[in-house]
């Protein structure tokens, strides 16, 4: 999701061939170019360089963008907290039945400090770091969406009104709707699907 969002926000309207992958039936070409064989993976046809981390794909797509240049150091610090501490807690909250040592509410409490941090930031600015979108917003938004959709009623009860408004704004964004478009799984004989901003 965040890799797709970054491509759509690319200032030079990067265009990529999109290949929707079913992980239970990975294409041979994907396994050949990426040792990890996970999604997302980006293969640069010109340089034959492979990028198989979503954040690295974002940086590739937004290379010349103010979204990266503005407050990059602060953005990377917040993204690191998201990608490590929060995501670990989120996975346990989301898939709590795989971690039966404690109940789901415990994993929820592990997520709260990060969510409250974001809510505090958004009480001061329209976006996470300023009144303009930065890399942090694009990188973190999909994980907050995941958290909220585990239990929408529970999320609402947390009364994180600034975070809730920020999330709603992203969910209603035209480029998010475009990023969420469904594609048929790619086959060798499939027609090329171009993925780019209109």
Q: How many Å apart are CA 163 and CA 116, to the nearest integer?
A: 8
pTM over 0.85: yes
In this predicted structure, what is the pLDDT of residue 111? 98
| Terminal-residue alpha carbon distance, the chain | 18
What is the per-residue pLDDT for 19?
92
Report the CATH architecture of 2-64+181-195. 3-Layer(aba) Sandwich (3.40)
pLDDT, residue 146, reads 97
Question: How many H-runs (helices) and E-runs (strands) does the chain carry?
Answer: 11, 4
User: What long-range pairs does 38-45 form, CB within 8 A, spacing at least 24?
Assistant: 40/3, 40/4, 42/3, 42/16
Confidence at residue 5, expressed as pLDDT on a 0 to 100 scale:
94
Strand partners, 50: 43
Architecture of domain 66-176: Up-down Bundle (1.20)
pLDDT score, position 77: 96
Convert the pLDDT of each residue in 102-114 to its tens digit.
Answer: 999 999 999 999 9
Residue 21 neighbours by CB under 8 Å, 6+ apart: 27, 30, 39, 185, 186
Q: Is 42 helix (H, G, I), strand (E, B) or coil?
A: strand
- Report the chain (198 residues): mean pLDDT per 10 consecutive residues: 94 87 86 84 89 93 81 92 97 94 95 98 97 95 98 97 98 95 89 88
CA distance 2 to 158: 25
Ordered by start, the domain boundaries in the chain are 2-64+181-195, 66-176
Scan for tokens 């770091």, then name that residue: 129
Give the sign of the dihedral formed by CA 110, CA 112, CA 114, CA 115. positive
Q: Compute CA 110 distance to the chain's CA centroid, rounded to the nearest angstrom.
A: 20
pLDDT at 15: 81
């Amino acid at each position: 999701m965040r890799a797709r969002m970054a491509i759509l926000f690319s200032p030079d309207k990067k265009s990529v061939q999109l290949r929707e992958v079913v992980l239970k039936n990975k294409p041979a070409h994907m396994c050949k170019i990426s040792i990890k064989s996970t999604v997302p993976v980006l293969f640069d046809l010109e340089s034959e360089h492979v990028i198989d981390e979503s954040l690295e794909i974002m940086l590739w797509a937004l290379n010349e963008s103010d979204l990266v240049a503005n407050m990059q150091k602060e953005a990377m610090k917040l993204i690191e907290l998201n990608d490590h501490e929060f995501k670990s807690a989120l996975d346990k909250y989301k898939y709590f039945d795989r971690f039966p040592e404690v109940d789901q509410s415990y994993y929820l409490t592990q997520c709260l400090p990060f969510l409250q941090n974001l809510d505090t930031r958004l009480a001061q600015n329209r976006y996470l770091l300023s009144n303009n979108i930065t890399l942090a917003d694009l990188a973190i938004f999909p994980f907050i969406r995941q958290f909220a959709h585990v239990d929408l009623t529970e999320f609402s009860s947390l009364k994180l009104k600034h975070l809730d408004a920020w999330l709603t704004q992203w969910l209603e964004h035209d480029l998010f709707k475009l990023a969420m478009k469904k594609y048929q799984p790619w086959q060798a004989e499939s027609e090329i699907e171009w993925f780019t901003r209109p």
